[in-house]
Structure 1
Amino acid sequence: MEHMFTRLEWLVGKEKLENLGTKSVALFGCGGVGGFAMEALVRTGIGRLVLIDGDKVTVSNLNRQLIATQETIGRRKVEVAKERALSIRPDMQVDTYDIVYTKEAYPDFIKDIKVDFVIDAIDMVTAKLAIIENCQELGIPCISSMGTGNKMHP
């Protein structure tokens, strides 16, 4: 059977592919943007994924969220996302935190989870700012998605 990452290895090389396997990424938000980011990370060989989301799948998620199906309605997003990740790559490490992140409630969270990279795919602006500021203080690269959730005229 062909190795799962053969085509990626052709693109980036064996050494870089092996390096990806040693990296850990925290993903804040498993919904619209986060679900697709998670899928890409799983399929590119990241070694450890830390999923953070304090919500459950709802009917209104069906039109835009990868993890939302009729079967997942009512379930916790981090658990559904973890199951999907492990159904693709059972060998990877997936940690979950079923929380709504705020700087006040979790002041040392990013430092404590020990990741190489952070992706912010949440809607709450104050939490986004806290994630970005904390990552800058810790020297952790961060991508922040400026989504349109709850915004008709941003």
Structure 2
Amino acid sequence: MSELTSRTKLIIGESGVAKLAAAHLLVVGTGGVGGYAVELLGRAGIGAFTLVDGDTVEPSNLNRQITALHSTIGKYKTTVLAERLKEINPEVKVTSINSFLDTDDIPALLDSTVYTFIIDAIDSVGPKCRLIEEAFRRSIPIISSMGAGARIEAAAVRTGKLSDAHHDGLSKAVRKRLSGSGIPKKLDVVFSKEASNPGALMPSSEPGGKGVIGTVSWLPAIFGCHIAQFVTEKIGGLYD
């Protein structure tokens, strides 16, 4: 893996590279944001990943997801990412869980392995909040992605605390669910300062159905870049 990490070592040092190689990341949600975060962290030299997502690649993913090619349509996103990671670093260890994370399964998942860091790129509020709560209960470092849809401004993306994140329904719902726990002021998140565009939502034609949120190609990738930087800095001990 020396060639893979030779340039990274010049930035974070040999000790930092060694820490990345020894790390095991749990990534829940491998779509636009999660997929790019995994790709970048794999190229940074992370040694092991557990990837959780029950979604398969669809044609509508082609505009923004790193797993999405015409040749991968219909495949599990976790499987596609695992193959990419192995092509980048044959020594990497990857466990793929091709199912959506049920709230009741989260404690067992977190207790099954010693995770160095958790990346939460879940869209659904219930599992997202339960994962955050259980991570805090176990003192496992976690960073959570807020909403990247219905926006366009690359320069508006920030890394901060959940209490700082506004302007989107997901951060509002997560803050409300976690209110009273003290977590919103402690949870690290990636979010956008740009107000979401209400015209970017196409309501479902079915009663109670899930609508479609417009997205651009670059914004989920930028969210993933912020996550990759944050995790690399924390694990690599850049500011210790």
TM-score scaled to structure 1, two decimals? 0.92
- Residue 131 of structure 1 aligns with an amino acid whose one-letter code is L
Alignment of 1:3-152 (within 5 A): 3-148=3-148
SS in 1 for 2:18: helix
- Residue 90 of structure 1 aligns with an amino acid whose one-letter code is P
SS in 1 for 2:70: coil
Distance in 2 (alpha carbons) for counterparts of 1:16 and 1:102: 34
Corresponding residue for residue 235 of structure 2? none
Contact 1:123 1:149 in 2 (8 A): no
Distance in 2 (alpha carbons) for counterparts of 1:149 and 1:75: 23
**Any unmatched runs of 5+ in structure 2?**
151-168, 170-196, 202-240
Distance in 2 (alpha carbons) for counterparts of 1:148 and 1:10: 32
Distance in 1 (alpha carbons) for counterparts of 2:70 and 2:3: 32
Distance in 2 (alpha carbons) for counterparts of 1:111 and 1:121: 20
- Residue 147 of structure 1 aligns with an amino acid whose one-letter code is G
Of residues 91-100 and 141-150 in structure 1, the stretch that sits farther from structure 2 once superposed is: 141-150
Q: Indicate the structure (1 or 2) with the bigger Cα radius of gyration.
A: 2
Q: CA deviation at 1:10?
A: 0.6
Q: Matched residue pairs, number?
A: 153
Q: CA deviation at 1:106?
A: 4.2
Contact 2:53 2:98 in 1 (8 A): yes
SS in 1 for 2:25: strand
- Residue 118 of structure 2 aligns with an amino acid whose one-letter code is V
- Residue 76 of structure 2 aligns with an amino acid whose one-letter code is R
Question: What's the CA shift string for 1:61-92, capped at 9, x where partnerless?
Answer: 10110010000001111111101111111111
**Any unmatched runs of 5+ in structure 1?**
none
* Richer in helix (by share): 2
Distance in 1 (alpha carbons) for counterparts of 2:20 and 2:73: 32
Distance in 2 (alpha carbons) for counterparts of 1:105 and 1:16: 33
C-alpha RMSD over aligned residues: 1.8
Percent of aligned pairs sharing the same letter: 37
SS in 2 for 1:4: helix
Of residues 104-113 and 51-60 in structure 1, the stretch that sits farther from structure 2 once superposed is: 104-113
Distance in 1 (alpha carbons) for counterparts of 2:50 and 2:86: 13
Contact 1:22 1:47 in 2 (8 A): yes
Distance in 1 (alpha carbons) for counterparts of 2:114 and 2:100: 19
